[in-house]
Amino acid sequence: MNSEFRHLPSVDRLLADRRLKRLSQTYSHTLLVDLVRRQLEDARQAISAGSPCPPLDDIVAAVSAQLNFLESPSLHPAVNATGVILHTNLGRALLSQEAISAMDAVAAGYCNLEYDLDSGRRGSRQVHVEPLLCQLSGAEAALVVNNNAAGVLLALTALAKRKEVIVSRGQAVEIGGSFRIPDVMRQSGAKLVEVGTTNCTYIADYEQALSPRTVALMRVHASNFRQIGFIHQASLEELIDLAKCRSVPVFDDLGSGCFLDTAAFGLDPEPMVPQSVSAGAALTLFSGDKLVGGPQAGIIVGRQEYIAKLRRHPLARAVRIDKIRLAGMAVTLIHYLKGEALTKIPVWRMISTPITEIDRRAHLWAQALGSRAKVTDGETMVGGGSLPGGTLPTKLVAVGGKSRSPGRAQSLAQKLRFQKVPVIGRINEDILLLDPRTVLPDEDKVVLGALRDLAAGLK
């Protein structure tokens, strides 16, 4: 037997060490025992691989380090200077201060989530958002779940199980994160009937595919890619006219969905929720945390008869939205009703910010770095699967372009990420780029502090 194993301390000996005994005043005995045993097991494996027995001090230090790791939250704020407004990896839409306050209020105590204050009886959590959504969209009814993928799954499970749903082959897409429309249909029990070709699908293709087993026609917005060239898709109006003739509904998955006209800001037109409802879609489904600008949610609006079936389905409970996000979503929707979305909702504040203001802030940032930075023209992407290919003009702070050291931009970007509040930019051709458009003005103080620290370290 390898003699190194004999040098391993016992669990009791480690727990008796004064440093771990001190930690036992803060942490549970069970947790300490578990971590000590893990470190000893790691040591045994290392010895088996030919390494010497680690010193007792190293084992104690490893236990202490693991405790520090476990008690330090890994999720914390960051500044998004990447130039992608709805950055999925950075949490998508920022919330208005009013929405944050509403979420804080219901998180701090009890609330009337499912309690009718008038009658003193149980109520529905949907009453806090349904009237707002109906007013904004023109729909008869609405339902909010935890994200749009859940909304699509719920609709297909509740309304199309063991039935056929017709979808254009060009719309049987993968939205992201392996979320594929064919896979969702398979999980729901609905049978996908693809029609047309990848680039062209005509209304006649849907008509020819209709059968007694058809329960719905479905349009899926190509939210994260764009086709160009010889392409054609049947319009929503064509689908609805055909559906009326055959007495089947149309489900319209907008992906992002929005209540404001993106074309008014120089962007490509994005399908708007009221347009889908007024055209006659039985159900319109979209995300709450993209162009709507609220917390993560899946929103379904449409005809009362279909929404009622979704409410009653057992899956609705599994995908329901929680009280905190519900509070934030309600306030976000109120911003639209009050006509203050451009000034209150960060996504729309960023989209609508004049280029002159972006330029002013970019020069302020560049001054913090001195001669190492310059301001250059650039483009901001909306992101989050919204408006693929659509960009907004912006001004970028470019850092590191004159360096002869390969990987210099990566090193600079890492230094900014290691700040107390990480500042995250993007790299192009070994140049670090920072975009003020995706940073709220209130965050400029953090960015300037980080850039000054970076400049001081480069002297």
Q: Contact at 8 Å (CB) between 298 and 149?
A: yes
pLDDT reported for residue 329: 98
Burial of 109 (0-12, 13-18, 19+ CB in 10 A): exposed
Residues in the chain: 459
pLDDT reported for residue 408: 85
The CATH 3.90.1150.180 domain(s) of the chain lie at 79-86+348-458
pLDDT reported for residue 3: 80
Name the average pLDDT for the chain.
91
Q: 303 pLDDT band (50/70/90 cuts)? A: very high
Nearest to 137 by CA among 342, 346, 303, 363: 303
Query: The tokens of 128 are what?
Result: 């806090």
How far from 1 is each of 5, 29, 47, 50, 64, CA to CA, in Å? 8, 32, 11, 12, 30
Q: What is the dihedral of CA 233, 236, 237, 241, to 10 degrees?
A: 90
| 1 pLDDT higher than 60 | no
How far from 325 is each of 20, 282, 286, CA to CA, in Å? 41, 26, 16
**DSSP reduced 3-state for 329:** helix
Q: Which CATH number fits domain 79-86+348-458: 3.90.1150.180, 3.40.50.620, 3.40.718.10, 2.60.40.10?
A: 3.90.1150.180
Which amino acid is present at 22?
R
pLDDT reported for residue 175: 61
Which residue would you say has higher pLDDT here, 299 or 192?
Answer: 299
- At 263-277, the pLDDT tens digits run 999 998 888 999 999
Cβ-based neighbours of 96, under 8 Å, separated by 6 or more: 293, 331, 332, 335, 344, 345, 346
What's the predicted TM-score (pTM) here? 0.89
User: Looking at the domain that runs over 97-344, which CATH code has it been given?
Assistant: 3.40.640.10
Nearest to 159 by CA among 312, 25, 291, 19: 312
The CATH 3.40.640.10 domain(s) of the chain lie at 97-344
